[in-house]
Each structure stands twice: as structure tokens, then as C-alpha cells.
Amino acid sequence: MEKTISILGSTGSIGTQSIEVANKHGIKIYALAAHSNYRLLARQCIDNKVKKACIFDEGFRDSLKAILDPYGIEVLCGMEGLCEIAGDPCSGMLLNSVVGMVGLLPTLTAIDAGKDIALANKETLVAGGKLVMDKAAVNGVKIYPVDSEHSAIFQCLQGNKRSQLKKILLTASGGPFFGKKRNELENVTIEQALSHPNWSMGNKITIDSATLMNKGLEFIEAKWLFDLDPSQIEIIVHRQSVIHSAVEYDDNSVIAQLGCPDMKIPIQYALLYPDRLECDCKPLSLTDYGTLTFDKPDTETFGCLKAAIEAIKAGGAYPCIVNGANEQAVQLFLDKKISFTRIGDIVSSVLDNFAFHDINSYEDVIKWDRKAREYVLEKA
Ligand code: NDP
Ligand code: MG
């Protein structure tokens, strides 16, 4: 049967690459969604002959409709539109590549509709990991990781017994400020923080990579995706981003997945699993690299990473609060309202300023996310 997908966040770094992968392998695209870039969204919808388009920001609805009406493409907007696409029975898998925890409700909606999900939107699992994984288990839904490290771990788990997994080795590039100490980071500019050594990505995740919050989010994402105890996750700074992560089994054998840093590989694996077809990315030449390096992460300088790990160990609403605080703090940094090092200070401070609370529902996630954002806005 012909494979059909819908993509939320189609105009972003992951979204545009996902369309290329889908086109290369003859996967039909049913619907696409973006936040406000209606021009690119419209182009993508026409080129891919989709049935539905959603623009989150209602202010662009009329402009999008004016372009798409002649093509008979239905235009939706807001959260309602994202959820309509997520749960639409006419489409198969959902690829969720929006940025931020706004992706949580569409993910839950897709799971309710029994759809498998290719998940790039890591904030979804950080803020509502238990809700998502419990619902996926009840509905028999599979979540295929798109994040390169989690895709690597997923690949290393194939053909082995999950019960004999001892731990995972989550690799981190270290970002643009590897080796720097706090006093050297005080005056970091947006441009410096946005220049990642190995990966070209959206602004939010690039800042998260510079603060190492990205690895903290991935630590939590891995805990939920692979049902791990935090003590089973070791973070290793590996500057070249060639080993995308590894797993260690009870016999002390370590199995890793390697490749050039290119998101097309994990995107394609999530969309085509278990097939491994030709991919438009550079083949890996280990001799071109010559040397691969490994270091311990510096959690003192990069407070966000420490805060995220402490948050998942503390459990309850803490991961959601840390994520909400980070989303708000990164926005303030990008708006030039706070300095780079303030992001880490603010995110770390939430752990001491919020008591323990449980998360039992989507409404709980929304509440603690909002409270975290309000706290940051007050502090900034
Ligand atoms: P980008 O900033 O490049 O793209 C974000 C996409 O989400 C855009 O299409 C944007 O639309 C859309 N979007 C944002 N908010 C909404 C909303 N409320 N409703 C609908 N669409 C929305 O981000 P990336 O592609 O880099 O990252 C996406 C996710 O994937 C993040 O969670 C990130 O952490 C994760 N990820 C990314 C990797 C990468 O290599 N880029 C690697 C691993 C994970 P618009 O263009 O209109 O603003
Ligand atoms: Mg990653």
C-alpha cells in the first residue's frame, strides 16, 4: 500500500529535509503545517499536491487561502488545525517537527488516532514524556525517533534483547563553546551562539546546543523513549559527531551507529523503518577524520545540562518546568533581553524555586509550563 505522511513544522530545518526524503522514496504527503511562513508552506503544499495545510498563526490564514484555494487545498489554522491534521484518518504516519512543547497536543491526538509517529519534536517528550509513552503503549502506537542520537540508539537496539541492555552512551558535540569557562561566556553574542560546528539547525535547538540544554533535553527524551533509569545514561562529548550514540550490553559489548552528521539518515530511518535504502548524504570516511575524541561534559559551566538531569531525577513536573523555563529564556536571549549565561542561571534556579508536583494530565503539563514561563519573565 502507498505510504502517506503528514508533517507538522514542514518549513523548518527538519521539515524541509523530511519533504526531500519523502519525495525521494515516493512517500505521499497528505498535509503540511507551519507557524507563520505561509509563502514557503504554500509552495510546499502545491509542489506536493497535499489535501490540507495548516498555518498556526491565524493572521496568515487569508494570505494562505488566497494562494491555495485555486488548488483545492483546504486551509486550517491554530492548534485546532494542527490536531485535525495529526488525527486525520486519511494520512498514515505523523512526522512532528515543530519546535517547542506546543507539539505535545498534536502528538497525543495522533496517538489517540492510533497513528505511528516520527518524532523530532523532543520538547514533547521532555514536558509530557509519561503521558505520551503511556498513551502510546495503550494504543499500540510506535514512536520512531528522528533525533540523531535516539535514532542511533534505536538502531543499536535492533536484533538484540532489550532486557540485556546495560546502559546507553549519549554523544554530544559540545557545541560552539566547548572548553570555555563561564567568564569567557559572559559576552557571547547571538551570532556566536548560533554558529554550530557540525549541524545546521533551527535557532532554538542551536542555542540549546550552545548551552548544552539540548543534551539535557535528549537525556530526558532517551529516558522516556527507551524506558531507562537516569543512571543508565552516560553523556560523552564527542566533538566530531560521527558516532551518533552507542549502547552497552550486559557482556560489556558496545554497539554504536556512525555516519556523517546529516539528519537525512535518521529522518529516513524513521520514515522507512526497517528498510535501509539509498540516502542523499555523504558516505562516512573514517580516514578523512583520522581521530575521534571523547571527553566528559562540563556540567558546572553548562548549568542547563545539570539542571535537566536533576529535573528528570527529581521527576514529577520538574522536567516540564525546566523545559518551559528554557523555552522562555532562549526566546529572551534571541530577543536580546538577557545575556547568554543568564539562560543557564535562570533554568538552574527553577529547581530551587518550585516544589514537587505530579503530572497526571495534559492540563497539568500546560499549567506547569505556563508557571515556568511566568517565573522566567518575572526574573528576567
Ligand atoms: P526550525 O526552527 O528550523 O523549524 C521549526 C518548524 O516548526 C517550522 O516549520 C515552524 O514554522 C514550525 N512551528 C513552530 N511553531 C509552530 C506552531 N505553533 N505550529 C505549527 N508549526 C510551528 O526547527 P528545527 O527543524 O531545527 O527543529 C524542529 C524540532 O526538531 C525541534 O524540537 C528540535 O529540537 C528537533 N530537532 C532538530 C534537529 C535539527 O537538525 N534541526 C535535530 C534533532 C532534533 P515557521 O517556519 O512558520 O516558523
Ligand atoms: Mg540530537
Q: Region 12-23: what's the mean pLDDT?
A: 98
How far is the centre of ligand 1, averaged over its atoms, from the C-alpha of 262 (Å)?
Answer: 16
Closest CA to 22 of 95, 117, 121: 95
Percent share of the chain, pLDDT over 70: 100
Q: Is the dihedral of CA 255, 258, 261, 266 positive or negative?
A: negative
How far is the centre of ligand 1, averaged over its atoms, from the C-alpha of 147 (Å)?
Answer: 12
How far is the centre of ligand 1, averaged over its atoms, from the C-alpha of 350 (Å)?
Answer: 25
Q: Please give the full DSSP string across 174-196, using - where no structure is assigned.
A: --TTTT--HHHHTT--HHHHT--
Q: What's the confidence (pLDDT) of residue 145?
A: 98
Is 233 in the same domain as 345? yes
Is 80 in the same domain as 130? yes
Q: Region 58-79: what's the mean pLDDT?
A: 98
Extended beta strands in the chain, E state: 4-8, 28-34, 52-55, 74-77, 93-96, 117-119, 143-145, 165-172, 233-237, 243-249, 254-258
pLDDT tier at 380 (50, 70, 90 boundaries)?
Answer: confident
Going by alpha carbons, the residue nearest to atom 39 of ligand 1 is 201
**Radius of gyration for the alpha carbons in the chain, expressed in angstroms and rounded:** 20
How far is the centre of ligand 1, averaged over its atoms, from the C-alpha of 14 (Å)?
Answer: 7
Going by alpha carbons, the residue nearest to atom 41 of ligand 1 is 201
Q: Region 86-109: what's the mean pLDDT?
A: 97
Going by alpha carbons, the residue nearest to atom 12 of ligand 1 is 9
Q: What is the rounded CA–CA span in Å between residue 121 and residue 204?
A: 12
The CATH number for 162's domain is 1.10.1740.10
pLDDT tier at 2 (50, 70, 90 boundaries)?
Answer: confident
Is 332 in the same domain as 203? yes
Ligand 1 pocket test, candidate residues 40, 132, 199, 201, most atoms within 8 A of CB: 201
How far is the centre of ligand 1, averaged over its atoms, from the C-alpha of 200 (Å)?
Answer: 12
How many domains, the chain? Answer: 2
* Alpha-carbon distances of 127 from 34, 324, 349, rounded to whole Å: 21, 8, 18
| 10 close to 122: Cβ distance less than 8 angstroms | no
Domain of residue 16, residue span = 4-145
Q: What's the confidence (pLDDT) of residue 113?
A: 98
| 326 close to 375: Cβ distance less than 8 angstroms | no
Is 200 in the same domain as 66? no
Q: What's the confidence (pLDDT) of residue 196?
A: 87
Task: Read off the DSSP letter of residue 118.
Answer: E
Q: What's the confidence (pLDDT) of residue 244?
A: 98
pLDDT tier at 378 (50, 70, 90 boundaries)?
Answer: very high
Q: What is the rounded CA–CA span in Å between residue 241 and residue 261?
A: 6
Q: What's the confidence (pLDDT) of residue 229?
A: 98
Q: Region 346-355: what's the mean pLDDT?
A: 96
Q: β-pairing, 243-249 with 165-172? A: antiparallel
The domain boundary residue, chosen from 145, 160, 178: 145
Q: Listing from the earlier edge strand, what are the strands of the sheet with 28-34?
A: 74-77, 52-55, 28-34, 4-8, 93-96, 117-119, 143-145
- The tens digit of pLDDT for each residue in 295-344 reads 999 999 999 999 999 999 999 999 999 999 999 999 999 999 999 999 99
Going by alpha carbons, the residue nearest to atom 22 of ligand 1 is 35
Q: What's the confidence (pLDDT) of residue 29?
A: 98
Q: What is the rounded CA–CA span in Å between residue 11 and residue 34?
A: 6
Is 97 in the same domain as 22? yes
Is 294 in the same domain as 340? yes
Q: Which ligand is the nearest neighbour of the Cα of 150? A: 2
- The tens digit of pLDDT for each residue in 184-210 reads 999 999 999 999 888 889 999 999 999
Is 314 in the same domain as 203? yes
Is 257 in the same domain as 111? no
Helix/strand/coil (H, E, C) string of 244-269? EEEEEECCCCEEEEECCCCCHHHHHH
Ligand 1 nearest-atom number relative to CA 15? 25
Closest CA to 372 of 341, 332, 334: 332
Percent share of the chain, pLDDT over 90: 98
Pocket residues: Cβ below 6 A from ligand 1: 8-15, 33-37, 56, 82, 97-100, 102, 120-123, 147, 199, 201-205, 263
- The tens digit of pLDDT for each residue in 123-134 reads 999 999 999 999
Show Cβ contacts of residue 47 under 8 Å, excluding neighbours closer than 6 positions. none
The domain boundary residue, chosen from 107, 122, 145: 145
The pLDDT of residue 1 is above 80:
no
The CATH number for 119's domain is 3.40.50.720
Ligand 1 pocket test, candidate residues 83, 97, 214, most atoms within 8 A of CB: 97
- The tens digit of pLDDT for each residue in 220-251 reads 999 999 999 999 999 999 999 999 999 999 99
Is 186 in the same domain as 207? yes
- The tens digit of pLDDT for each residue in 243-293 reads 999 999 999 999 999 999 999 999 999 999 999 999 999 999 999 999 999
SS3 115: coil
Q: What's the confidence (pLDDT) of residue 199?
A: 86
Is 139 in the same domain as 154? no
The domain boundary residue, chosen from 126, 145, 164: 145
Q: Average pLDDT, whole number, for the chain?
A: 97
Q: What is the rounded CA–CA span in Å between residue 4 and residue 14?
A: 18
* Residue 377 neighbours by CB distance under 10 Å: 13
Q: What's the confidence (pLDDT) of residue 311?
A: 98
Is 132 in the same domain as 217? no
Q: What's the confidence (pLDDT) of residue 143?
A: 98
Q: Which ligand is the nearest neighbour of the Cα of 127? A: 1
Which residue type is seen at 171? T
Closest CA to 149 of 125, 130, 116: 125
Is 141 in the same domain as 64? yes
How far is the centre of ligand 2, averaged over its atoms, from the C-alpha of 149 (Å)?
Answer: 5
Backbone angles phi, psi at 34, to 5 degrees: -145, 180
Ligand 1 nearest-atom number relative to CA 203? 2
Helix/strand/coil (H, E, C) string of 6-41? EEECCCCHHHHHHHHHHHHCCCEEEEEEECCCHHHH
